[in-house]
Structure 1
Amino acid sequence: MPTNLPPLSAIRAFEAASRHLSFTKAGDELGMTQAAVSYQIKLLEERLGFQLFTRKARKIELTDHGAQLAARVVDAFSALRSAFEDVSELNAAQLVVSSNTTFAVNWLASRLFHFQMQNPDVGVRIVPYGPKADPDFSESDIVVSACKAPPKGWVAHEIVQADFTPMLSPGLAESIGGIKTPEDLLKLPLVDPQDPWWPMWFEAAGLEDVDLSGHPSSRMGSQALEANRAIAGQGVAILTPYFCKMALENGQLIQPFDLTCRADSESWYLSYPPALRTSRKVRLFRDWVTSELERDGMPIHGKMAVVA
């Protein structure tokens, strides 16, 4: 049967004392008094049934048994220190971000290079999640979630509100002589007509109880995918203008109406577990995202809060 190990506190005291050949210096290293180290060594000797040190007037020396044990124990603690250092360095050097597809494709992909240029010692691994998947809250350092609240106890920042309005390609708009009224949109294919945002927007535009049942179902579940279909002229998509800023600026998409709506409970959140609140890599990424949003003129709607 395996022999149970002596108490770890006694082993640690012995390992430090065997390196320093001093109970006082071992205590300084471990944050213990000289008497506490001596007591731990005595417990270990009683457990083993032999002396580990010879006590002399002004010094201690290892006995033969003590020297034999010390060689193995010091090597073992050295290996443990190396293992923890290696893991700590790897963890500190890699940031894992689980991100909603729209944020990953329409925001992070074109900007991440700048973060890495500013922080070359931090490697970033983006793990996008699709329409029917959940954010990876268990294995990620940071999660950017869309319309899904972070877990209880997590630190969360509301970074982008989910405003929405119809958008389409200029060519598709010209195919019916342009979009002059909200009713004109109903003459064209709609990307994801089952999206609850459509009836909300039409009602705000003065068209109540709009019947979209005649439009073929084309559920995509991701604004990044829906925007690509709209750019390709395959239909009118209802999208968040901020995430389509580039497509609007270069003329791939047009926003025919200034009217935007918002569902109160829907936003993009950047969140992380409370244990990482002071993590350097998390702080660097969070502050960089914030600065990028502010540079775009986007207000940070929500202050840091712990999810209840």
Structure 2
Amino acid sequence: MRLPSLIALRTFEVAARSRNFTEAAEELSVTPGAVSRQIRLLENELGVSLFDRTRNTVSLNDNGRRLAATVTQAFELLTRGADELRNQDEGPIHITCAPSIASHWLMRRLNQFAAGNPDITLSLEATEQLVDLERGEATLAIRFTTTDAPMPASELLFQEEFFPVCSAAYLEQFGAVREPRDMLGARLIHTHWKNNANLQLPSWEDWFATYVGEPGPVKGGMRFGLIGHAIQGAVSGQGFALGSTALACDDIANGRLLLPFGEHCRLATPWAYRLAWSRRSPPTEKVRRLIDWLLAEARASAVPELDS
């Protein structure tokens, strides 16, 4: 036999429970007339009346009471089943990102999130290899990408800028730095990295050309292939490095690195870190909770922006 309209059954369940079409309409966010029409539709489909109607009131008759008991039980079962699915263990949230941002920014924050959200299991893979989010190889990914790259299922974590940083010990050894030209005699830590499209990170040559007007001391000093290693070199007192918004923010916040020029003398870049997920399915409640938390952490930890 054909099942009656679920909309009509739901309307009947609410009307039977409230025993008032106006109150039922308020709960369902419809008009009393719409409630009345759905009840009539159900009565016509079943071939029986469900309410006794007078001029100003309606009340369940015997048919209505029998049906109400069955329908109420059925909707309770449906609600319970849906709640069980919502609350079932979704398995771990798999996150993937490059080792640099994993060690310099993400790891500590995932530990904090896990402590405050014991119902969520997290799994982190730090790798330079890009995984396929659409095939379910990870739940979330932090992608280092150009600002003009289309990533519809993503949110901005950091817009990358680069700026001189050093340890307090090295700055004391080197002496006061009041203007960019004072950096000409400094020991520099270099990073040379570029992607497949030949877009590279800003270099000390770029910084000196912008703020001093000459190439600067491009020879000597330490050279690293990864910016994370260069930042660690600065923390250990090896000299000045060009720190990045995302990777240096925690070392700056806890005093392991200093900004000799404060908010000034920064290089803008076409690079950004974005938090991405699959386009095919929206994030679950637990995943959305993690996304919102990480976005808030990124806002809170960002190095102050360039002066306008």
| Both proteins in one fold, TM over 0.5 | yes
Q: Deviations over 1:207-256 (max 9, x none)?
A: 333351x2256123133x22211111112110125543443344322111
Match of 1:236 in 2: 240
* Count of paired positions: 213
Structure 1 pair 295/149, CA: closer, same or farther in 2 (3 Å)?
closer
RMSD across aligned positions (CA) = 3.4
Contact 1:166 1:237 in 2 (8 A): yes
Shift of 1:154: 4.8
Match of 2:275 in 1: 270
Matches within 5 A, 1:179-218: 179-192=177-190, 194=192, 196-210=202-216, 212=218, 214-216=219-221, 218=223
Shift of 1:146: 2.0
Match of 2:286 in 1: 281
Match of 1:54 in 2: none
Match of 2:266 in 1: 261
Instruction: List gaps (5 residues or longer) in structure 2.
Output: 7-83, 193-200
Letter in 2 for 1:205: Y
Letter in 2 for 1:290: L
Instruction: List gaps (5 residues or longer) in structure 1.
Output: 1-23, 32-84, 300-308
Please, which moves more after superposition, 225-234 or 179-188? 179-188
Letter in 1 for 2:184: L
Structure 1 pair 158/191, CA: closer, same or farther in 2 (3 Å)?
same
Match of 1:16 in 2: none
Letter in 2 for 1:231: V
Letter in 2 for 1:96: H
Equivalent-residue separation in structure 2 for 1:220 and 1:263 (angstroms) = 20
Structure 1 pair 151/174, CA: closer, same or farther in 2 (3 Å)?
closer
Shift of 1:268: 0.7
1:169 aligns with 2:167: yes
Shift of 1:290: 1.9
Shift of 1:137: 3.3
Q: Deviations over 1:261-306 (max 9, x none)?
A: 344421111111112324233212111112223444789xxxxxxx
Match of 2:154 in 1: 156
Letter in 2 for 1:162: E
Letter in 2 for 1:161: Q
1:137 pairs, out of 129, 132, 139, with 132
Q: Deviations over 1:132-191 (max 9, x none)?
A: x33323511111022357986651212111011011112222223332332333323322
Equivalent-residue separation in structure 2 for 1:298 and 1:281 (angstroms) = 28
* Length-normalised TM-score, structure 2: 0.58
Letter in 1 for 2:179: T
Structure 1 pair 287/167, CA: closer, same or farther in 2 (3 Å)?
same
Matches within 5 A, 1:1-308: 24=1, 92-129=90-127, 133-138=128-133, 139-147=137-145, 154-192=152-190, 194=192, 196-210=202-216, 212=218, 214-216=219-221, 218-223=223-228, 225-241=229-245, 243-258=247-262, 259-296=264-301
Contact 2:246 2:302 in 1 (8 A): no
Contact 1:106 1:243 in 2 (8 A): yes
Give the secondary structure class of the aligned counterpart of 2:223.
coil
Shift of 1:260: 4.2
Please, which moves more after superposition, 180-189 or 227-236? 180-189
Contact 1:168 1:237 in 2 (8 A): yes
